Structure 1
Amino acid sequence: MYVRTVTSKGIQYAQLAHNVRDPKTGQPRAQVLYTFGRVDQLDLDALRRLVRSIARFLPPDEQAQLQKDLGMEWPFRYLGSLKLGGTWLLDGLWRRLGIQKTLQRLLKARHYQTPIERLLFAMVANRALAPSSKLAIEKWVAQDVYIDQLPAVEVHQLYRAMDFLLEAAEAIQREVFWTLANLFNLEVDVIFFDTTTAYFEIEGEDADGLRRWGHSADDHPKMAQVVIGLAVTRDGIPVRCWVWPGNTGDQNVVAEVKRDLNGWKLNRVVVVLDTGFNSEANRRILQGAGDHYIIGEKLRVGPQGVPAEALRRAASTAGFPTGWRSRRSWSEGIAPPAGASSSSATPRRPSGTARSGSPSWPSFASGSKRSNRSRARRIPRQPASCGPTRPSAATCARRGRATGHRRGQGSPRSRPRREVRDQQLRRLLPAEDLVYGYKQLWQVERVHRDLKHTVDVRPMYHRLDDRIRSHVLLCWLALLMIRVAENETGQTWRQMRDLVAPIDVGRHATAHGEVWQVRPLTEEQKALFQALKVDRPPHYLKIVTPTRKTA
């Protein structure tokens, strides 16, 4: 059996033939079994399939030699794999939170030729999964992970996307906030705010820019830094971020934060701040438009002269102990870390009292017994009405106090004033809400920790101020999706990331094109996607068929 060519009217034809003996003449003659058609119009793919089909009946070594001699590919060839689990999960959250629609709506009038929204998602996903430089994202997208509609990126495209992010930062933060508020029914009546720092690997500082020397929260006092502020809801979701020069003090940022939050036209909001923001000027700013606030104050008499004993009684009346070091109230939806005891999981103890938005009265006082004793020594005593010596038992009984109390703690002059202050305290805000609100400042501290150790906001290697601000915005978006995922599932981001890490997509070349097949999901992985209301990846992600070229 052989393939022969015949010529008819100047055109060559290919035929499959074999020789048979003529019964009459006894001479061999060719018998045509199949005609392939014109030589210049042969279906080469059909011929290759025929050769592979025939080669199946040959020994394995001869098959391999035949494939090598003819230079033919195997019918099924593995091309490699890409990580899919983390990017697919984050992309589902990205769409569910409305970030994609917000960016597409803002980009509609820009007419960019590059996929800016996809580029921004790639940088945000990189911060959440494997933080690296913008230059390293080129290799990360092309060789390591699968991102829908983004097979490859170039670093200059990333910088262009960062420029757009900064231009639309105000609108993006506002739209994302209201989308989250409507989607999850966020309680936005309480906003926690605090600042932290992020350093740079440079020598010196900029004479006029963001990279300046200042008080470092990272124990890097000799490195230039920036100050980052975050507004966090009581659920631990960061809803807004700010960036200031590294030498900016906490006392100088409250006005900008209050102005930006007022621009969102929220309803009644209680802003919770730590002791570092406490000043007369900041309290006046926070009291604007009748707003309320809770602000930390040192463990001594406040500026209004309210005795700390009255504040401590207001807290104990609400059922809270005076010592916070051994107790902790976790917010709803987030469980304490596994294996963490009540004392080890407790964040930094507040340095003093919390003050409500009233211009006259603090809300409560709290601290350890040692702090209370030291504070009691600093409280100026009111003049005793019993004289310089200890009063007698009869005098104390008549005045309604126990024998041996210190001077001034129960005198007829101080008791009515103390009761009036307690009543005014309770009328402002419930002491229980104030204590619980101030104790929830650990939410901001947790966000700061994840900002530095999960999305790796520092050290920074950007030089321009705009790129620095854009970098912080990318980290904020990554942290936003991480916190939403944690609240929805009750798991930490590290647990979720490790759970979906084995999910990858394998690329296989076949005779009919490329097949992208996803690793089968486990029951735990399916439960995670279901809890986050994210569609699971299909078993076959896509099938790429070759397109025929037409003349």
Structure 2
Amino acid sequence: MLTEQVLSNVENVLLNGTQLILNQVFNLVGLDKIEDHTFRNLVVARLSQPLSKAGTVDYLKSHFDEDLQLHRIYRYLDKLHDTQKDTVQQISINHTQKILGGKIGLVFYDVTTLYFETDESDALREKGFSKDGKHSQPQIVLGLLVSDGGYPLTYSIFNGSQYEGRTMLPIVEDFVKRFDLQDYVVVADSGLMSKTNVALLESGGHKYIIGARIKNETEETKSWIFSLQKTDGQFHEMDTTSTCRLIVGYSDKRARKDKYNREKGIKRLQKAYSNGTITKENINKRGYNKFLEISNDISVKICLDKVEDDEKWDGLKGYVTNTNLPAQQVYEQYHGLWVVEKAFRVTKGTLELRPMFHFSPKRIEAHVCICFVAYKVYKEMERILKISGINLSVDKVLDIAKTITTINVKLPYSNKTVTKTMLLTNSHRKIAELFNPAFWNKWQ
């Protein structure tokens, strides 16, 4: 009888496990300093169930009992970038310095493109070279700076036709100046490599490690590279200026990969050639189309001489640096760039940063800002799992958390409402260990 009375007084049941966990991680990062409940809800929803803004309103109500009006969210987005971007970046940097022992020594930079589901362009959303293969759709260019370990530091948005090589210096210089960064090394891939960028990095007093475009070097330098003994794991270096070195390394694993990829690309070209689908328009430098040439100004064929020339580069990789680090350390630090690639993979995939459906610059900026903060929370959750020795991914933890419920019951005699979060399975209890037991709501 008492059980029936209690059950009849259940006021609501919420599937709010992700909200409870993500709110806690949000606070651990220091984002609770932003006293803005709407901002918190939008970040948590982006991690829990990335949806359109209309879908987010429904999700927050049905799962977390949060009341947000769609028109208010849109008005909120219009002012979010101006009010929160600098604050969230400062909080992110402070937290990153704390977990890295007080110093941000390495900063990794990379750039990606984010496309829109529309054919309409404007001053910001322009067509350009798309890293997603969406060349017919407008896009923006996003530059991201992360620390060692992949913790996001700062970002900037450029119009969709911006050449990626011109995005790095503005972000790096603004970041270094605003946050008074000392004793750091900027790491970027060969897509950002140009004589102009190197000269600007040098004149700005920045230490750098950048992937070299060794195939574009002078004939003298290329002759030197081809004269090197190809021994697995061995590095050679030469001074290119009084402050800059070119380091070239060889790897058997990379050589096998280069050969495999080339043969795979040639097979595709041969198949297309046999089917008669290769035309003059295919002759460009994209991918393995570089092996094509026009024969007698009439037909297109695969040039075997170009293939043989390409084979000479198998296994070779170059790096340009003005640091005094040993070659092996330059190699290791450069290959830490995967942390930026992962950041783009998670934000584009798990957090669904793109495609975007907003059209005003302010709402686009706000959407990117929310995803930036969501990724910071994601990385902190990843770090907590690692140091706790819990062998689960962030995505798996959030999936488990989606089955954690909280019930609110009004006691039949006192009319007091009590709350209980139900940790019913071993998986629930396992992820509950990540936080202080007092965090989980008990009978009150």
CA distance in 2, matches of 1:235, 1:77: 49
Q: Does residue 200 in structure 1 map to residue 116 in structure 2?
A: yes
Q: Deviations over 1:44-77 (max 9, x none)?
A: xxxxxxxx99xxxxxx9xxxxxxxxxxxx99833
SS at match of 1:202: coil
Tell me the percent identity. Answer: 22
Aligned residue runs from structure 1 range 437-516, under 5 A: 437-490=333-386, 491-511=392-412, 512-516=415-419
The alpha-carbon deviation at position 532 of structure 1 amounts to 5.7
SS at match of 2:381: helix
The alpha-carbon deviation at position 431 of structure 1 amounts to 1.0
CA distance in 2, matches of 1:447, 1:98: 20
Q: Which moved more, 1:132-141 or 1:192-201?
A: 132-141
CA distance in 1, matches of 2:79, 2:441: 33
TM-score between the two structures when normalised by the length of structure 2: 0.75
CA contact (8 A) 2:169 2:200 kept: yes
The alpha-carbon deviation at position 202 of structure 1 amounts to 0.9
The alpha-carbon deviation at position 522 of structure 1 amounts to 4.4
Q: Does residue 190 in structure 1 map to residue 106 in structure 2?
A: yes
Q: 2:181 aligns with which of 246, 254, 266?
A: 266
2:133 is matched with: 219
Amino acid at match of 1:460: M
2:245 is matched with: 361
CA distance in 1, matches of 2:333, 2:192: 16
Q: Does residue 122 in structure 1 map to residue 41 in structure 2?
A: yes
CA contact (8 A) 1:232 1:238 kept: yes
2:59 is matched with: 140
SS at match of 1:440: helix
SS at match of 2:215: coil
CA distance in 2, matches of 1:520, 1:257: 45
1:432 is matched with: 328
CA contact (8 A) 2:127 2:135 kept: yes
SS at match of 1:441: helix
Q: Deviations over 1:376-398 (max 9, x none)?
A: 969xxxxxxxxxxxxxxxxxxxx
Relative to 1, partners in 2 of residues 1:256 and 1:142: Cα closer, same or farther, differing over 3 Å?
Answer: same
Amino acid at match of 1:185: G
The alpha-carbon deviation at position 516 of structure 1 amounts to 2.9
2:202 is matched with: 287
Alignment: residue pair count:
376
Q: 1:252 aligns with which of 159, 162, 166?
A: 166
CA contact (8 A) 1:287 1:357 kept: no
The structure where helix makes up a greater share of residues is 2
Q: CA RMSD in A?
A: 3.5
Amino acid at match of 1:173: Q
The alpha-carbon deviation at position 95 of structure 1 amounts to 1.0
Relative to 1, partners in 2 of residues 1:216 and 1:426: Cα closer, same or farther, differing over 3 Å?
Answer: closer
SS at match of 1:290: coil
Relative to 1, partners in 2 of residues 1:75 and 1:376: Cα closer, same or farther, differing over 3 Å?
Answer: closer
| CA radius of gyration, larger in | 1
Q: 2:192 aligns with which of 272, 277, 281?
A: 277
CA contact (8 A) 2:207 2:323 kept: no
Aligned residue runs from structure 1 range 64-103, under 5 A: 76-101=8-33, 103=34
Q: Deviations over 1:10-53 (max 9, x none)?
A: xxxxxxxxxxxxxxxxxxxxxxxxxxxxxxxxxxxxxxxxxx99
Q: Deviations over 1:503-543 (max 9, x none)?
A: 11123344315433221354544443444668531223x6x
Amino acid at match of 2:403: P
CA distance in 2, matches of 1:450, 1:426: 32
Unaligned runs of 5+ in 2: 260-307, 314-319, 387-391
TM-score between the two structures when normalised by the length of structure 1: 0.61
The alpha-carbon deviation at position 172 of structure 1 amounts to 2.6
Amino acid at match of 1:485: M
Bigger relative contact order (CA 8 A; separation at least 6): 2
Amino acid at match of 1:518: T
Aligned residue runs from structure 1 range 320-339, under 5 A: 320=233
